[in-house]
A and B are shown apart, each in its own frame.
Chain A
Amino acid sequence: MLPLLKTEQLTKVFGGFCAVDRVSLTVNEGTIHSVIGPNGAGKSTLFKMLTGMLKPTSGRIWFAGHDITGEPPHVITHRGLAQSFQITSIFPRLTVLESVQTAIIARLGRCFDFFSRFHQSRAVRQQALEIIEQVGLSELADAEARTLSHGDQRALEVALALATDPKLVLLDEPTAGMSPYETRRMVNLVRELAQKRNLTVLFCEHDMDVVFEISDFVTVLHQGRVLVEGKPDEVRRNETVAEVYLGSEVQQ
């Protein structure tokens, strides 16, 4: 197994507050890797640095052999690192199909086609419809994204990430605010995608059942630092982890 994504001593300081503190993380190719931790552990900040939304204070990020530290988001996307957002981030007044078409033409670098209808070409349409089917939204292809239910919008999020044809997908709390049924559907989807598309998945999640069920590897963050790393079983049995989770609740 080769490391696809690697961070070295990654640090982010906001004012005097160290949100992420010298985190060194290795995500191997083809694995489902989850990052967990109590609220404020630095998960979202870490993810934002990986996608280029935030610039690290210090440290480096390596992705597929390239140093991507400080590159803008659209460049990182083109390198094959896609993300879905914690807070649903879609195109409200575009249809599901149009949204995925946008992602595909962006990947193919055809955004600046002025007079063609490349996004309506057979190849692009079919590719888009295929991705839409994979996430289970075929019936809703022509619906505006804003009319979708929460669970369907989350599925569209994943579809958008997939449409960039990524090597690695970052899922920031993919089951946030979902019903048990929707959560189950998302778990199956992530697992299926990882297998069929040979995707590497890095995700952070609050739902421990979900984490331990589908992860190959778990990293626990606490107060911006890596607390424990290991296989799900090891982490589950780890006493410090239990302490952190219980402790943080007691303190509050």
Chain B
Amino acid sequence: MVEPSAKQTHANGQALREAPPSLESSLRFVEVKRYGKLARYLFWTLTVSGAALLTAYLVPPVWLLELQYVAALALFAVATNLLVGYGGMVSFGQAAYYGLGAYTIALAWLHFKAPFWPCFLLTPLVGAAAAFAVGFIALRTRHLYFALLTLAFAQLFYTIAEQQYDITNGATGIFGIGIPATLMDPQKGFLFVFAVAALALLALWKITTSPFGLTLRAIRENRVRAETLGVNVFRHELLAFVIAGAFSALAGGLFIIHDQAAYPELLDWTKSGEPIFMLVLGGMNSFLGPVLGAFVYQISHELIVQHLKDWQLVLGLVVLLIVLFMPEGIVGLFNRTMWQRWLGKHAAKSPAAQKQPHAPAA
């Protein structure tokens, strides 16, 4: 298969080649770059903001409040998926950063009557700092040990929040946190939360499609190999952990707009389980899967608890079914059945199957 290629020049690999595969793909790339980018951005901006405005004016206020919560959870789930889905680091302690985001605003309000905005902007920084400290220790381990260490640190935060009554109001929590009046309005509140979540998701999207994201996936696939290619694996994973912590904390800040309250349960391990469930439900191999998961999870939760006390029972059954039959989540269901059946051709042939093995070229 090694063709006696024409004379080789590889001055820093910038050489120009006439061979078809390279030219073809680079042309395709130029095309996308020239016309696609701006149009695509415009299209998505208009679609997303249009959808948000429509939602804000059509959906009744009670459900708008619910959707605020969904947006916060969706951001929380996607941030967690940066670790679980992209990085292969299953953290069972992401609630620590989510709760910390909420507590940042709550505590500053409780003790100093601090204004909302600076505190809200501070949440990702607090989350990042905490994630740095925890990740620095926890990332020296892997797999189960990593999961347990992250869990242990989260429980540490939980215990502090629950027992330091003088500082945090203990198990009672902090209620009635003052936020700007505009945000109390369900419509405006929804639009704000939605906008922040959407921008944060855009940032996360850029991160996952950047060289950083590609390297993160490579580490997930084979950390030893990544290291021998010159990647500083520990630093890379630590950075991913910090980013996930920062965005989780921002999600916690958004929760304050929805609920104006912070209580220890926000830091609890069951809260850490929620984003993991959402990303499994929606599909961890796609970027927006966890968003879909968050939506389905929270809305069905609201609908089911109206009729049935045993929400946990339903949850357990759904987890079981997904793990057994839909390992790619809801998104995977779309990919597998609908696209393949209707578009037909893409299914069977992977590029590798098309190439005949051992066809001597020369």
Interface residues in chain A, defined as those with a beta carbon under 8 Å from any beta carbon in chain B: 51, 53, 72-74, 77-78, 82-83, 85, 89-94, 98-99, 101-107, 110-120, 122-123, 125-127, 129-131, 133-144, 147-149, 152, 160, 163-165, 179, 181-182, 185, 188-189, 192, 196-197
A89 to B357 alpha-carbon distance, docked (Å): 21
- The interface-forming segment of B101-109, B141-149, B226-234 is B226-234
Residues of B within 8 A of A185 (CB): 1-2
A-B contact pairs, 29 of them (CB 8 A): A89-B224, A90-B225, A92-B222, A94-B218, A102-B214, A102-B215, A104-B13, A106-B226, A111-B215, A114-B206, A116-B210, A118-B210, A118-B211, A122-B30, A126-B15, A127-B13, A129-B22, A130-B13, A135-B2, A136-B361, A139-B21, A141-B25, A143-B350, A144-B350, A149-B357, A181-B358, A185-B1, A188-B2, A196-B8
Is B5's beta carbon under 8 Å from chain A? yes
Q: Could you mark each residue 186-229 of chain B with 1 if its beta carbon is under 8 Å from any beta carbon of chain A, else 0? A: 00000000000000000100110111101101100110111111
CB of B316 within 8 A of chain A? no
Task: Report the interface size for chain B: residues with CB under 8 A from the other chain.
Answer: 54
**Chain A's nearest CB lies how many Å from the CB of B37?**
10
By a CB distance below 8 angstroms, the chain A residues around B111 are none
Chain A positions within 8 Å of B230 at CB level: 74, 77-78, 103, 106-107, 164
Check B25 against A115 for contact (C-beta < 8 Å). Answer: no
Is B310 among interface residues, defined by CB-CB distance under 8 A?
no
Cβ B2 vs Cβ A125 within 8 A: no
User: For residue B210, which residues in chain A have a CB less than 8 angstroms away from its CB?
Assistant: 113-119
List B contacts of A160 (CB < 8 A): 225, 229
Give the residues from 111 to 126 in chain B that come closer than 8 angstroms, CB to CB, to chain A: none
Are A126 and B207 neighbours in the complex by a CB distance under 8 Å? no
Determine if B218 and A91 form an interchain contact, defined as CB atoms under 8 angstroms apart: yes
Query: Contact between B211 and A133 (Cβ–Cβ < 8 Å)?
Result: no
Contacting A130 at CB < 8 Å: which of B15, B203, B224, B231?
A: B15
Q: How far is the CA of A93 from the CA of B19 in the complex (A)?
A: 27
Q: Which residues of B contact A136 (CB under 8 A)?
A: 1-3, 361
For the complex, what is the distance from the CA of A149 to the CA of B357, rounded to whole Å?
Answer: 8
Contacts of A110 in B (CB 8 A): 211
Within 8 Å by CB of A83, from B15, B30, B228, B352, lies B228
In the complex, the answer to whether B236 meets A125 with C-beta atoms within 8 Å is no
Report the bound CA distance from A130 to B26 in whole Å: 12
- Contact between chains at A133 and B212 (CB < 8 Å): no
Contact B212 A113 (CB under 8 A): yes
Given contacts A89-B222, A130-B13, 10 further A-B contacts (CB under 8 A): A74-B232, A91-B217, A91-B222, A98-B214, A102-B218, A105-B211, A116-B211, A119-B214, A133-B21, A133-B22
The answer to whether A123 touches B231 (Cβ under 8 A) is: no
User: B351 near A: Cβ within 8 Å?
Assistant: yes
Q: Which B residues are CB-close (under 8 A) to A99?
A: 218
User: Which residue of B has the minimal Cβ distance to A115?
Assistant: B206
Contact A133 B228 (CB under 8 A): no
What is the CA–CA distance of A179 and B212 in the complex, to the nearest angstrom? 37
CB distance from A227 to the nearest CB of B (A): 29
B29 within 8 A of partner (CB): yes
Answer yes or no: B14 CB below 8 A from chain A CBs.
yes
CB distance from B171 to the nearest CB of A (A): 39
Q: Is the interface of B mostly helix, strand, loop or mixed?
A: helix
Cβ of B52 under 8 Å from chain A: no
Residues of B within 8 Å of A114, CB to CB, are 206-207, 210, 212
CB-CB under 8 A from A94, the residues of chain B are 214, 217-218, 221
Interface status of B346 (Cβ within 8 A of chain A):
no
A147 proximity list for chain B (CB < 8 A): 350-353
Contact partners of A117 in chain B: CB under 8 A: 209-211
Asked if A130 meets B29 with Cβ closer than 8 Å, knowing A102-B229, A111-B232, the reply is no
| B17 close to chain A: CB less than 8 A | yes
Chain A residues whose C-beta falls within 8 Å of the C-beta of B12 in the assembled complex? 127
Complex Cα distance, B350 from A83, in Å, reads 29
Q: Which residue of B lies closest to A112 (CB)?
A: B212
A74 touches B26 (CB 8 A): no
Residues of chain B within 8 A of A126, CB atoms compared: 13-17, 22, 26
Q: Which of A115, A129, A152, A163 contacts B207 (CB 8 A)?
A: A115
- Interface status of B355 (Cβ within 8 A of chain A): yes
Question: Closest CB-CB distance, B289 to chain A, in whole Å?
Answer: 16
Docked pose: A82 CA to B229 CA in angstroms = 7
Interface pairs A-B: 3 shortest CB-CB: A127-B13, A136-B1, A91-B221
B10 interface hit (Cβ, 8 Å): yes
Most buried by B among A133, A137, A147: A133
Indicate whether B239 reaches chain A with its CB closer than 8 angstroms: yes
- A74 near B15 with CB under 8 A, answer no
Indicate which residue in A73, A116, A139, A197 contacts B10 across the interface (CB closer than 8 Å). A197
Contacts of B25 in A (CB 8 A): 125, 129, 141
In the bound complex, residues from chain A placing their C-beta under 8 Å from that of B351 are: 139-140, 142-143, 147
Q: Which residue of A lies closest to B10 (CB)?
A: A130
Using Cβ atoms and an 8 Å threshold, which residues of chain A touch B5? 133-134
Closest chain B CB from A80 CB (angstroms):
10
Contact assessment for A51 and B228 in the assembled complex, using a CB-CB cutoff below 8 Å = yes
| A111 B211 Cβ-Cβ under 8 A | yes
* A137 CA to B10 CA, complexed, in Å: 18
Tell me if A164 and B21 are in contact (CB < 8 A).
Answer: no
Name the residue of chain B whose CB is nearest to the CB of A147.
Answer: B352
In the assembled complex, the Cα of A125 lies from the Cα of B350 at a distance in Å of 21
Measured between beta carbons, the chain A residues less than 8 angstroms from B16 are 126
Residues of the B chain whose Cβ atoms lie less than 8 Å from the Cβ of A102? 214-215, 218, 226, 229, 231
Nearest B residue to A72 via CB reads: B227
Q: Which residue of B lies closest to A129 (CB)?
A: B22
